[in-house]
Amino acid sequence: MTNEWIAGWVSHPARRPWWRNTGTGRATFASSIKLMSLTIASIILLAMATEAISGDLVQERQYLRVKIGGKDVRLEALFVKRADARGRLPIALFNHGRPAVGAMALDRSLFNDPGINPIADIARRGWLVVAIHRRGFGLSDGQIQSDSPCAADTFMGWMNSDADDIEASIGAVTRRPDADPTKMIAIGESAGGAASLALGARNVPGLAAVINIAGGEHLAGCAAVNDSIPLDFRNLGTRSHIPNLWVFAKNDLNHPLDQIEVMRTAFTAGGADLKLALLEPIGEDGHTGLSSNAGRTQWLTELDNFLRAHDLPTWPLSSLDVVLQKLQWPATSRAYVQAYLTAPGEKAFARTPGKQNAAYRTAPTLDDARKLALDACQQKGEHCVVVMEDDRWIGAP
């Protein structure tokens, strides 16, 4: 990747999409001819829609037509990539978690969900990210899995059912002209991480790694999970032949440390390649805390190290030298610049021209990140300007 990774700039403003998910229901092809015509028309419009979600990224909303269990199923999907990307890109299959209340699944939106930020983080690292609403979520067909019964075989049933949706989608994703089917990763949070583990155990051609963010077996009040974990995770580890990265916070209320250790021991006993990263406590509950800016700041560092170790794309270390040169800073500032480049978006870097006074901040929106960075930089009474937004240099040459 060239220095354009830093220098690139796309002037499209972020816009609120007109297709926001309202969660008011879904159409099926068993409906009347009139309803079917409207559905087909909406599919065509949705498949063609491409919008900027930030200055450096574009998104595309689609319905994927797949077969699951011999049935035709429509799954809602969001594709995100760098606006300056060219050619075929490695594919990151991003898998969401489950809401605390099953009925909330219909209200999930691939655009307005805060989960768009980690999707953007991965896209900025050079991936074509596809987030797929599994059956029963958002505008996808089908029903969400029930929270019962509490039985030892329930958990693998859930994981495999979710993996069925992801695997069925791969064929549709890899037919895109901007997708490289020979290099894929599966990355998921919570239940999406567990689904990624089940997919990884299927040794799908082209799948190079699994990144599990706080995913495992959990059902509140169900003691059967204690019996199922050793068996299920040994089974998964025995069948998994690709590298795994697992990231958990030490205060994960869904997965206490002793349970994480049982999962790890069982998985590696089956011969799996696993790197486990245990992060310091994040907020009141590390399970949800991993989605925060503070959480992503930690696990993105683990992700970058893992991807580099396995020769998979992420931001190039050569960019450190490019930014230092633009700042006209010494090599002793390398760690500070690296921390910025690794940090989650949205983010902004402000500095005093000609001096080493600088500050960067992350925030849910780029506007907030700019303001926070400027405020922090100007605390010493110096005039400051924003010179970087996300991974783009926008300052004077």
How many angstroms separate the Cα of 259 from the Cα of each of 39, 218, 255, 325, 379? 45, 10, 6, 47, 45
- Please write the tens of the pLDDT for every residue from 205-232: 999 999 999 999 888 788 888 889 999 9
Confidence tier at 345 by pLDDT (50, 70, 90)? confident
- Residues 63-67 have a mean pLDDT of 94
Provide the CB-side half-sphere exposure for 135 (13 A, CA).
25
d(CA 64, CA 174): 12
Contact at 8 Å (CB) between 171 and 210? no
Instruction: Give the whole-number percent of the chain exceeding pLDDT 70.
Output: 81
Q: How many CB atoms lie within 10 A of CB 391?
A: 20
Strands 89-95 and 71-82 come out as unpaired
> Whole-number mean pLDDT of the chain?
83
